[in-house]
Amino acid sequence: MKRKLNQKLLNLIEYYHLINAEILFGNSTINRNIKKDNQHIYGTKKQKLEKLKQKIKYIKNCELKENAKNIVFSDGNINSKIMIIGEGPGAQEDLEGIPFVGRAGKLLDKMLQAINLDRKKVYISNVVNYRPPSNRKPTDEEIARYFPYLLNHIEIISPKILLLLGSTALKAVIGDEQTISNARGKWLKKDIGTASPWIIASFHPAFLMRQPEQKKLSWIDLKMIRDKIKLINK
């Protein structure tokens, strides 16, 4: 059953890539005179991010967006070598329009501090940019709908290290059949569009709050990240 669902998600992501989901869900008019190849080249990182944010704001027919108060796009340093991807905003994030500012966010801050990272030094976003009602998990279709935007987001930031927090981020970015318990704590070098980061998955802080005994494994992953940063900065 789970295998079937994962395959369905992979097919959906591939399908949305093929049909260019932006055209389907976006609101902007199609200008056939713009050369597609040039679209991602022009503009500074800041401008590209603003444009991406606007595109997400124009998504149509999305239950998440219709029920949310604010878009939750990102936080942190746009020039960071480290990008962190969570699942989706919760109530506090929805109120403030900033990712990871609720209880799970406080734990994430502590986890980062443990390896001498400040959240202002990293770049943080989520698989979906609007709060799923009642904090439910995003559906496969929602993950696939937001994936082209996430892909573009990763390309713009072009991090050297990509940390995937929890099973939703793992599934969206790696499309992995594995559980987070099996996939965590392993480096993987993978091209994500034009970006080529080292990727590592680890437990989501909300999961760690429910299962604190798993923090020891999370600490192993954090130390791996600390060591990789040292290597990258050499």
| Interacting residues toward ligand URA by CB under 6 A | 86-90, 93, 99-100, 102, 104-105, 126, 206
Q: Which residue has the tokens 């990272």?
A: 117
- C-beta neighbour count of 185 within 10 angstroms: 17
CB-nearer residue toward ligand URA: 135 or 196: 135
Distance CA 82, CA 157 (A): 9
Distance CA 10, CA 22 (A): 18
Smallest distance, Å, CB 159 to ligand URA? Answer: 17
Task: Give whichever of 40 and 53 is closer to ligand URA, judged by the CB atom.
Answer: 53
Round to whole Å and give the CA distance between 52 and 34: 17
For 63, phi then psi, to 5°, come to: -60, -35
Minimal distance in Å, beta carbon 162 to ligand URA? 15
- Shortest Å distance, C-beta 19 to ligand URA: 27
Nearest approach in angstroms of CB 86 to ligand URA is 3
| Radius of gyration, CA atoms only, the chain | 17
Shortest distance, position 35 Cβ to ligand URA, whole Å = 35
Residue 192, strand partner residues: 195
Q: Which is nearer to ligand URA, 24 or 209 (CB)?
A: 209
Shortest Å, Cβ 99 to ligand URA: 3
Least separation, in Å, of the C-beta of 44 and ligand URA? 25
Across the chain, which distance is largest between two alpha carbons, in Å? 57
Q: Residue ranges of the alpha helices (H) in the chain? A: 2-19, 21-25, 45-57, 63-67, 91-96, 103-114, 140-157, 167-174, 180-183, 205-210, 215-232
Nearer to ligand URA by C-beta: 16 or 100?
100
- In the complex with ligand URA, the residue whose CB is nearer, 100 or 147, is 100
The residue whose Cβ lies closest to ligand URA is: 86
Residue (87 or 142) nearer to ligand URA, CB: 87
87 three-class SS: coil
Which H/E stretch holds residue 127?
A: none
Beta-sheet strand order (sheet of 188-189):
75-76, 123-126, 82-86, 161-165, 198-202, 188-189
Q: Which is nearer to ligand URA, 59 or 107 (CB)?
A: 107
